[in-house]
């Protein structure tokens, strides 16, 4: 992977060890420019539909035109947020809380329904210290 963002490297390292992904391959993330959504806050009563429109338009912003994927880390218990991200096209990376959306409409992740997406796996996994991931 050629990501400069250490936290994203770490998340991908962990996600890839959670099990097979339904629609993502490790090569999908190699040498790609990515958008990382750290937080999306829209206050009620505008949440939901406005959040959906924001997510759908991010790829069209000039500063993100070169990005091929967009990531979001969604806590497993936040079913409302997970449903929103899945509705616009995000799909789970392996069995983790990391979700990704490809810009390419022909990418396998864009061709499966949210119901066909990988489930969250609760099995324990070894989590390496961050220093072990920095060199990858």
Neighbours of 54 (CB within 10 A): 13
Over residues 76-121, the pLDDT tens digits come to: 567 888 888 999 999 988 777 888 999 999 998 999 998 888 887 7
State the angle between helix axes of 79-88 and 49-57 in degrees (0 to 180), rounded to the nearest 10. 40
Q: Which domains does the chain have, with CATH numbers?
A: 6-117 (3.40.630)
Distance CA 66, CA 11 (A): 22
Query: What is the pLDDT, as a whole number, of residue 5?
Result: 54
Average pLDDT of span 114-129: 66
Give me the helices (H) in the chain, please: 6-16, 49-57, 79-88, 130-133
Average pLDDT of span 61-69: 90
Lowest mean pLDDT, pick from 15-19, 33-37, 71-75, 77-81: 15-19
Query: What is the pLDDT, as a whole number, of residue 34?
Result: 85
Q: pLDDT higher for 2 or 90? A: 90
């Amino acid at each position: 992977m050629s990501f400069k963002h250490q936290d994203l490297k770490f998340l991908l390292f962990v996600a890839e060890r959670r099990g097979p992904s339904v629609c993502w391959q490790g090569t999908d993330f190699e040498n790609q420019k990515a958008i990382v959504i750290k937080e999306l806050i829209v206050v009620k009563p505008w949440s939901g539909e406005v959040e959906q429109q924001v997510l759908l338009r991010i790829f069209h912003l000039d500063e993100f035109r070169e990005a091929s994927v967009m990531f979001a880390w969604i806590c497993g218990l936040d079913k409302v947020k997970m449903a929103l991200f899945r509705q616009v096209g995000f799909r789970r990376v392996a069995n983790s809380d990391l979700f990704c959306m490809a810009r390419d409409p022909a990418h396998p992740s864009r061709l499966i329904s949210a119901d066909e997406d990988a489930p969250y796996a609760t099995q324990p996994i070894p989590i390496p210290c961050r220093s072990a991931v920095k060199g990858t």
